[in-house]
Structure 1
Amino acid sequence: MSFWKSNNAEKRASDTMPPSQHLEAIGKQKVSGNNNETIAILRSLFSPNDDLTTREIDVLGQYEATVMYLSNFVNSERINQDVLKPLVTTNMTRTKVARGDVVRFLLKQALNFGEAYVEVSVTKLAEALFRGNTVILIQHLKEAIVLSTRSIDHRTPSHPQTEQAIRGPRDGFVEAIGTNMSLIRYRLQTPDLRMESMELGRMTKTKVAVCYVEGLCDPDLVRRVRNRLNKIDIDSVLDAGTIEQYIEDNHWSPFPQMLNSERPDKCCAALLEGRVVILTDGTPFALIAPATFVQFYQVMDDYTERWLMGTLVRAVRLVSLVFSLILPAMYVAVISYNPELIPTKFAVAVAGSRAGVPFPAVVEVLIMEVSMEVLREATLRLPQQVGGALSIVGVLVIGQAAVSAGFVSPITVVVVALTTIGSFATPAYNAAIALRILRFPMIILAGIFGLYGLVVGIILVINHMLSLRSFGVPYWAPYAPFKLDGMKDAPIRAPLWSNFLRPKEVSPENDRRVSPQTVEYAKSPPKRQRRSLTTGPRRGGNKT
């Protein structure tokens, strides 16, 4: 793991207010060598909190020292075994070390920690304690030892909750960024994988890691991501969604311009395409940049299954996209302005079902859509056991009651139900929300202008998507600008051996991911020779 800090970040830290008024009062004060004075300063920062623990010991049996840590932020058993016990053991008390060499001796021979360093600033010591580290102060020494002892209980990797997979890995990201980084390294065991870390948030000091594969990812893309992250100067970063809202290209677009995922295999696939993955401590979701619109309708099942099944399922999702966006608006336009476009018998049946409905078609559809959105939101916010029952009651009981009362027509219920099911088929939740938002202006345009309004609405949506960029990459790629190689993984899912080039829109430094020999072998595999199966000796053979 490499650590980096640009000049912009240094300038940002010097030009803005400090993260805490208490730390501002300390200023640039150094460790004085008087433990009581330093402890008093540190205690003033944590007062009236009672989780700051101090333990007085004699290091090497002759030097007074104080061990400080937050009891709720560390593993107390590890503190006893790996910190206190080595410092006060009998063998250590017999060792004679000069006072000036105590810190060096402890770091190299007594304390077995992978992350241990010396600090002289009281402000840095306070920040280390806030992160869960342990501080060792030695009397009459103007430097302190900082040990990485942070230990937080977190859940183990489990099946992703928002990205279900029929065939594929079952592990997902967790809230601990260290675990998430190890899940990526587990799959990409290459020295070219880079994970650059930084901290965002004055108060939270949230660790953020920028992951990419050197030699594949465009250096300009990595530089663009770094610059945007360095310009974020806010109080807190509690989720990856906060970062997404600050670094996306168009803040007014309903379409998401960054892909989020809690699947390590999906993030690794993005890294191997030449994209950048951003991990945030405290959240199980990773950000993938740049993102194009076709990525929001691709899932890992498309690649783990054979290409015919992957193509069929992807076609079903595209049909669901059309249903979720334009089906209600098309129904309103045809019923209100152009009923001659539907067969006569069906038109008579629709007119009969709408007899007695007090509202025009556009108002009827809007009422049903709003009711469905309210029901969907209520289902999401309720407990899981109650939410499932509410969805069944809402669809069956409320819908049937509305039709029986003549409030809405049965055909409207069918159209809204198909639209809702189509939105559920969208793999990315934020992309489905974008279509749900655009569905309402499309219905209004169709209710006012008919099919002309529907066509104008579709043109405006497509024109807006053509104008979008995600870190400089066209949002509508590979359709516009048109890339023939990219079409092998856009409307269809071509065989893996035929899709041997990485996406050109991300400008990868190495665009080939399958060797020519493998492609030739996959195109024309060697013919299998038929094996002759014999059971026992041949008849008429020589007898012995």
Structure 2
Amino acid sequence: MSIWNKRRKEKRQNIPHIKMKNNQHRELNGKLEDTIYFIKEILGSNDDFVIRRFSIYGAHSAAICYFSNLVEQQTINYEVLKPLMKMPEYIDKDKLKNDRILKVLAEEVLYHGEIKEESNLGKLIDAVLAGETILVIDGVTNAFHLDTYYVEKRAIAPPETEQVIIGPREGFIERLGTNLGLLRYRLPTADFRVKTLKVGRLTKSKVAICYLDGIADQALVDEVESRLKKIDIDAVLDVGYLEQYIEDNHYTPFTQTLLTERPDSTVGNLIEGRVAILVDGSPFTMLVPAVFNQFYQATEDYSTRFIMGSFTRFIRMFALVFSLVFPALYVSFISFNPELLPTEFAVAVAGGRAGVPYSAVIEVLILEGSMEILREATVRLPKQIGNALSIVGVLIIGQAAVQAGLSSPITVVVIAITTIGSFATPVYNASFALRALRFPLAILAGIFGLYGVMVGLIVILNHMLSLKSFGVPYLSPTSPWNAQGMKDSVIRFPFWKMSFRPVMFHSTNKIRENTSKSSRTTQRQPLSSQPNKDKRDD
């Protein structure tokens, strides 16, 4: 027998018999020392794990167990230990028998809002790991676990990835309870539902499924819950982990879920019939189903008048398409179809590229790659250094490349305008698809010219037509066509023109506005024509 196998055998023999059994189904036997021994074997090697022994009114030996870094010590001192060690005058000692003591403590003694009774040792261990405090009493086969969880959290601040000029400034934080509170604050209705489950064998991350009962399709809610329950992974540290498991198509650059850190945006999507998924420890909410037209829409569109909202939304849509095809069109015009350019402009471009030693497609690919490297470096650096780097990269490096003959001035302008256009996309993870697809489109343009650009765009469009997000076509409501859905597409219609929820989500309650009682339909007289009630007769 090898030394390694011998050590493993000795290690297995040294494990106490109590750990070799299935801990998930082990029950309390009423002996305090056995329970403490079991808990120590599982958790006792941690320096921040506390087992506090004491006596309940001098008659019952007891102990509380908790992790000191996961609880609020003041709550334990004043809401648990103090009432248990100092007997109130109204308590009759005859009531404190083993068969009734838990009921008396829960109803008359403990000053705590959330008390649960449990006899399973495995579940008690899970409660301690989740930041709760367990109370074990000698001679009692059940134990209490009290919610004393407390971890320092950052303050609610404006979201970093979704800036707006007009609209709320609150953003989600890492605490799931705080995020759910922000949603309930904006949805004070009994129809708001929250289902929780734990995902991750090691992290046991708490995942919340939020929806509006009577609006969200129940089949959609069941499908989301089913996909989440099928996930079997060691750790879930962010909502992005779940996205990679529950999306319909894994081999596409287009995201099929919408990530947001804005409570108002989440509530707006819930009202339309979507389902929100939140993870404890993540400041982002995942919204499903997601369609393509969401990725050029912003919360600010609904906070402003519909004319202004429609104009800015159209600008974003134009910038999105422009940033995708502009480099490829430039390459095709320079390499294959210079006759499509005005004569003066074509001469100027040819003069600017006179000293460049490689073709236009190679030049565009080099500058695009350099811009992506610069963008990634700017994101990873601290904010103060990142701002300085972006200015240096745009001004100095671009000018130096032109003077060194590595690039032409017009190519630098094209790449700069393309990059600025990609920044107009409100959803960060949606802009990745545009950034990734610019490279193959430019290569096709360098090989086949305009024909290659058109073939590439047709392939991209055909791929988008084949995508679905939880059964909803990705290009809805454009394909399949829905006139009601198009009222909140590229152009945003007034609210009183959008009386129905999007058909693609199959909402139970399809009516969003009661037009018969709408204030818009009420005819009002101008102020100048209203009688002056304050006028008095002479």
Could you give the per-residue CA deviations for residues 185-220 of structure 1, whole angstroms, max 9, x where no partner exists? 111111111111111111111111111111111111
Tell me how far 1:61 sits from its aligned partner.
Answer: 2.4
Equivalent position of 1:55 in the other structure: 52
Moved over 3 A (4+): 21-27, 92-95, 531-534
Amino acid at match of 1:433: F
TM-score, L = length of structure 2: 0.93
CA 1:352–1:518: 2 relative to 1, 3 Å: farther
> Is there any run of 5+ residues in structure 1 with no aligned partner, and where?
1-20
Alignment map for 1:237-386 (pairs within 5 Å): 237-386=236-385
Query: Could you tell me whether the CA contact under 8 Å between 1:61 and 1:93 is conserved in 2?
Result: no
SS in 2 for 1:282: coil
Distance (whole Å) between structure 2 residues aligned to residue 268 and residue 166 of structure 1: 19
Distance (whole Å) between structure 2 residues aligned to residue 185 and residue 22 of structure 1: 43
Equivalent position of 2:131 in the other structure: 132
Distance (whole Å) between structure 1 residues aligned to residue 281 and residue 21 of structure 2: 27
Equivalent position of 2:36 in the other structure: 39
Equivalent position of 1:75 in the other structure: 72
SS in 2 for 1:43: helix
Equivalent position of 2:525 in the other structure: 527
Distance (whole Å) between structure 1 residues aligned to residue 181 and residue 187 of structure 2: 10
1:84 to 67, 81, 85: 81
Equivalent position of 1:205 in the other structure: 204
Distance (whole Å) between structure 2 residues aligned to residue 323 and residue 75 of structure 1: 54
Distance (whole Å) between structure 1 residues aligned to residue 380 and residue 89 of structure 2: 58
> Is there any run of 5+ residues in structure 2 with no aligned partner, and where?
1-17
2:26 to 14, 24, 29: 29
Equivalent position of 1:12 in the other structure: none
Query: Could you tell me whether the CA contact under 8 Å between 2:198 and 2:204 is conserved in 1?
Result: yes
Tell me how far 1:523 sits from its aligned partner.
Answer: 5.4
CA 1:87–1:411: 2 relative to 1, 3 Å: same
SS in 2 for 1:49: coil
SS in 1 for 2:214: coil
Tell me how far 1:58 sits from its aligned partner.
Answer: 1.2
Q: Which moved more, 1:383-392 or 1:90-99?
A: 90-99
Query: Could you tell me whether the CA contact under 8 Å between 2:276 and 2:286 is conserved in 1?
Result: yes
Tell me how far 1:226 sits from its aligned partner.
Answer: 1.3
Distance (whole Å) between structure 2 residues aligned to residue 94 and residue 373 of structure 1: 71
CA 1:214–1:25: 2 relative to 1, 3 Å: closer
Tell me how far 1:420 sits from its aligned partner.
Answer: 0.4
Tell me how far 1:114 sits from its aligned partner.
Answer: 2.5
Tell me how far 1:224 sits from its aligned partner.
Answer: 1.0
* RMSD (Å), alpha carbons: 2.0
CA 1:532–1:358: 2 relative to 1, 3 Å: same
Q: Which moved more, 1:200-209 or 1:45-54?
A: 45-54
Tell me how far 1:450 sits from its aligned partner.
Answer: 0.2
Distance (whole Å) between structure 1 residues aligned to residue 509 and residue 170 of structure 2: 29
Amino acid at match of 2:270: L
Query: Could you tell me whether the CA contact under 8 Å between 1:59 and 1:93 is conserved in 2?
Result: no
Tell me how far 1:28 sits from its aligned partner.
Answer: 2.6
Distance (whole Å) between structure 2 residues aligned to residue 27 and residue 494 of structure 1: 56
SS in 1 for 2:278: strand
Distance (whole Å) between structure 2 residues aligned to residue 301 and residue 146 of structure 1: 45
Query: Could you tell me whether the CA contact under 8 Å between 1:303 and 1:310 is conserved in 2?
Result: yes
Equivalent position of 1:191 in the other structure: 190
Distance (whole Å) between structure 2 residues aligned to residue 318 and residue 137 of structure 1: 62
Equivalent position of 1:426 in the other structure: 425
Distance (whole Å) between structure 2 residues aligned to residue 537 and residue 223 of structure 1: 64
Tell me how far 1:125 sits from its aligned partner.
Answer: 1.4
Distance (whole Å) between structure 2 residues aligned to residue 264 and residue 518 of structure 1: 28
Q: Among all aligned residue pairs of Structure 1 and Structure 2, give the percentage whose two residues are the same amino acid.
A: 49
SS in 2 for 1:72: coil
Could you give the per-residue CA deviations for residues 227-277 of structure 1, whole angstroms, max 9, x where no partner exists? 111111111111100011100000001100000111111111111101111
Distance (whole Å) between structure 1 residues aligned to residue 40 and residue 53 of structure 2: 15
Q: Which moved more, 1:509-518 or 1:192-201?
A: 509-518
TM-score, L = length of structure 1: 0.92
Equivalent position of 1:499 in the other structure: 498
Distance (whole Å) between structure 1 residues aligned to residue 286 and residue 234 of structure 2: 20
Amino acid at match of 1:256: T
Equivalent position of 1:480 in the other structure: 479
